Amino acid sequence: MTSAGTHIPVLHDEAIAALCIHRGGRYIDATFGGGGYTRAILAQPETCVLAFDRDQTAVKAGRGLVEEMRGRLTIVEARFSQLEDIARAQGFAPLEGVVFDIGVSSMQFDQAARGFSFRAEGPLDMRMEGRGRSAADIVNEADAETLADILYFYGEERAARRIARAIVHDREIAPFTTTRALAEMIARVAPNRASDIHPATKSFQALRIAVNDELQELLKGLLGAERLLAEGGRLVVVTFHSLEDRIVKQFLSERCGRGETGSRRLPGEPAPPQPSFVCEGRQPVTATPAETAANPRARSAKLRYATRTAAAPYPLDPKLARLVHLPDRDKGKA
């Protein structure tokens, strides 16, 4: 989450407490944004931060802080999936902590020209980096079945097929180029009378996830963090919708050894690997009523955290990998 240097992330205090920052530690802020977490980490003496952000606007806005910190902060314009490679290339490992604040930033939502929100007229873009396929490209080029899959699996939109058919029909008359045009069409064909959220909310979320490959990036970031953290290091993740939280929950559940008992294994069956993380406390942590009242977006925020053990990193579980991809049509849809 961002806003040039002054924005305070949702669950900021809880995330910093979970990170358990100590003097001289090395930390990764995987989502620099406005620098809220980074500033809190650097407030501890002799700490160093390697921060990441896909958005070049956020990276540029952080240059003043880089100069102020005199070598204690490096900000890189890069994705989660590059986290491990970049950290190792810079000799920034092992780590005492990694913190993620997943999803689109407040700054990105507030800039109509970025096309993330339908609250104001803007181009149908949604690209965090400003490169690659835009939301308009997907909406105007994908077939109806692919569009329906994106809306259903990434947005949990029940009217996915109806909206997809309408998109394909209407784009033959005129391509979708603005956020408002798409939002108004969705509101027309799939009105949401049972809720106070806009009918296009879930569809816009789904398109944003597809454009930026957000779920796969999250998983790769978590895997990289597991391999970079030293024993006793903390992994802290704040998510804002159920798809993200499901990935983080399953990732940590497997690695904390939840549900594993000797009596459940067959004779001769190999023992599972030793837990690579320890999960403590009641989780997920959610926002207080006061924070929710001040920032409605905090209502959906969930924080999960864990402490790295000395055990080897886990291999990628195929069940976890399936959570980040659309279903394979050749194998039948879920």
The per-residue pLDDT string of the chain (334 residues; one tens digit each, 9 = 90 and over) reads 333 344 578 999 999 999 999 999 999 999 999 999 999 999 999 999 999 999 898 999 999 999 999 999 999 999 999 999 999 999 999 999 999 999 665 555 455 445 556 777 899 999 988 889 999 999 999 999 999 999 999 999 999 999 999 999 999 999 999 999 999 999 999 997 767 788 999 999 999 999 999 999 999 999 999 999 999 999 999 999 999 999 999 999 999 997 555 456 677 677 789 999 999 999 999 999 999 999 888 999 999 999 999 999 999 999 999 999 998 765 444 3
Please give the class, per CATH, of domain 113-212.
mainly alpha
Element spanning 64, H or E: helix 63-69
Please give the class, per CATH, of domain 12-106+214-322.
alpha beta
Is-contact 65 95, C-beta < 8 A? no
Q: What percentage of the chain's residues is helix, strand, coil (to nearest 5)?
A: 45, 15, 40
Report the half-sphere exposure of 174 (CA within 13 A, side-chain side): 6
Domain residue limits, the chain: 12-106+214-322, 113-212
- In whole angstroms, give the CA distance from residue 195 to residue 203: 15
Can you give the pTM of this predicted structure? 0.90
